[in-house]
Amino acid sequence: MFGLTGDLGRKKLFPAIYELAAAGRLDGPVIGVGRSSHSDRDLREMYDDALGDHQPAGGGTVDPEVARSVDLAYVQGDSTEQTVYDDLAARLTASDHPRSDHPLVYAALPPGIFGSVASGIASSNLPSSTRLMVEKPFGDSADAARELYAEITESVPASQLFIVDHFLAKAAIENILTVRTENPLLTNSLDAAHVDAIDIVMHESGGVDGRGSFYEGVGAIHDVVQNHLMQMLAMLTMPAPADDGEAAFNEARTALLEAVLPVADGDVVLGQYDGYRDLDDVADDSGVETFASLILAVDNDQWRGVPISIRTGKRLHEDRTEAIFHLRNSSDRATSTGNRIRFRIKPHAAVTFDLDVIDPDTHQPRPVSVDACGPDDHGGLGDYAVMFDNAMNGETRHFAQIDDIVEAWRILAPVLGGDHEIHIYPPGTEGPDTSPVDA
């Protein structure tokens, strides 16, 4: 695991390792790899510290005995040097670390290094069946993604490559498609004839403190729009797959993204929260966006004419991730304010129906909300634990595919290549006042 000792390790990776162990789905060693000089004991201390305030998916508390059962080791080395892969192969074959038939190499590294990782795996004594799991963002354009994919798959077969988008492994995200396509009430209502607009919202109250150098290289579009929110859009609007297989699911998702038109220049607003440029490792004149608001359109019979807004940002007034279908009113009354279906991901998973009912005092419609609680986890496994488990078993359903990655970059190409003004907004607000999307 490259990147295990960083911030992502503390927040996501170490807890995922514990959840796998608690579910009886971790039967081999976990080896952290990095350039810093750490010992096996140092890694264990990082792991214990990360679990200190962790609440496992599914509830409950950390079981100390399960936590101690995880076999942790550390190898120092640079991911671009062949020696580290030889060291890993030797460590796996050591007597206290049984060799796996399908070891998994996880790389939370800059995309430009993925090719070196794949080459290092192929040139080492690691088994030819070794699987590679790489973090987002995958490239920075459609052409770059294709080239990166070709470079990696020269060394590691495509069937052994797993591209992370942890939103796809969230039970609440996957549940969107199930609720939409398995319930006739919704299946027959969610289309252009009945929906006025769709909003996709990912608001974050936190900033990027301590991650300035990382964020300077990505920004909101690369960080969450191109991957998480494009995949969320697909789940909200794709047709039901032809069958339950992974191939049918992936094909339906890609087909939907192929129908999304490139974003128009006038439908984009980018912003940056006041104080971002004061962070360590951030340029004093940084033009990196911490906020993005855009409007997209799906050019197919089901959704043509329905505007789809996406709005995301750091240091906003709340933590909220949800998608909202605004249904057309069945009457001409201007007083109607309900008729929405919300798929909420954060702060808690739920499907909420906002319905108009009669107000006995005014005899006019007024909205009420009815919640159907949704799943927050996959049987005790959080999103990263699901992905590790899937990758170790060769399952692709909860991973991004190269075709939908390329389509997402195509959709956003006008934003990436355009010269858009960066609007400064105060922390704790809803973002720039100039945003075209009010979600």
- Helix 14-22 to helix 383-392 angle, to the nearest 10 degrees? 70
Partnered with residue 400 across adjacent β-strands are 163
Fold of 7-163: Rossmann fold (3.40.50)
Three-state DSSP state, 275: coil
Positive or negative: CA dihedral 150, 125, 26, 42: negative
d(CA 82, CA 63): 38
The DSSP symbol for 227 reads: I
CB distance 269 to 436 below 8 Å? yes
Residue 137 dihedral angles phi and psi, to the nearest 5°: -75, 150
* Burial of 97: CB neighbours in 10 Å, binned 0-12, 13-18, 19+: middle
Q: Quickly tell me which residue has 């399960």 as its tokens.
A: 66
Positive or negative: CA dihedral 106, 112, 113, 116: positive
pLDDT at 56: 78
Nearest CA to 231 out of 189, 294, 174 is that of 174
Output the tens digit of pLDDT for each of the chain's 439 residues.
Answer: 999 998 899 999 999 999 999 999 998 899 999 999 999 999 999 999 999 878 877 778 899 999 999 999 999 999 999 999 999 988 887 745 555 678 999 999 988 999 999 999 999 999 999 999 999 989 999 999 999 999 999 999 999 999 999 999 999 999 999 999 999 989 999 999 999 999 999 999 999 888 888 899 889 999 999 999 999 999 999 999 999 888 899 999 999 999 999 999 889 999 999 999 999 899 999 999 999 999 999 999 999 999 999 999 999 999 999 999 999 876 655 555 678 999 999 988 999 998 888 888 888 888 888 888 766 666 678 999 999 999 999 999 899 999 999 999 999 999 987 688 999 999 999 999 765 555 4
CB distance 431 to 293 below 8 Å? yes
d(CA 133, CA 116): 13
Nearest CA to 279 out of 224, 222, 223, 216 is that of 216
Residue 63 dihedral angles phi and psi, to the nearest 5°: -90, 115
Q: Quickly tell me which residue has 């907004």 as its tokens.
A: 425
The DSSP symbol for 262 reads: P
Number of residues that make up the chain:
439
Instruction: Give the predicted TM-score (pTM) of the model.
Output: 0.90
pLDDT at 95: 45
CB distance 432 to 423 below 8 Å? yes
Residue 185 tokens read as 């009430």
Residue 336 tokens read as 């109607």
- CB neighbours of residue 209 within 10 Å: 12
d(CA 143, CA 149): 10
d(CA 431, CA 290): 10
- Specify the domain boundaries for CATH 3.40.50.720 within the chain: 7-163
pLDDT at 307: 97
- The CA–CA distances, whole Å, from 27 to 18, 71, 106, 131, 246 equal 12, 9, 16, 16, 25
Fold of 167-381+401-425: Dihydrodipicolinate Reductase; domain 2 (3.30.360)
- Specify the domain boundaries for CATH 3.30.360.10 within the chain: 167-381+401-425
Residue 56 tokens read as 């496992």
Q: Quickly tell me which residue has 């070196």 as its tokens.
A: 116
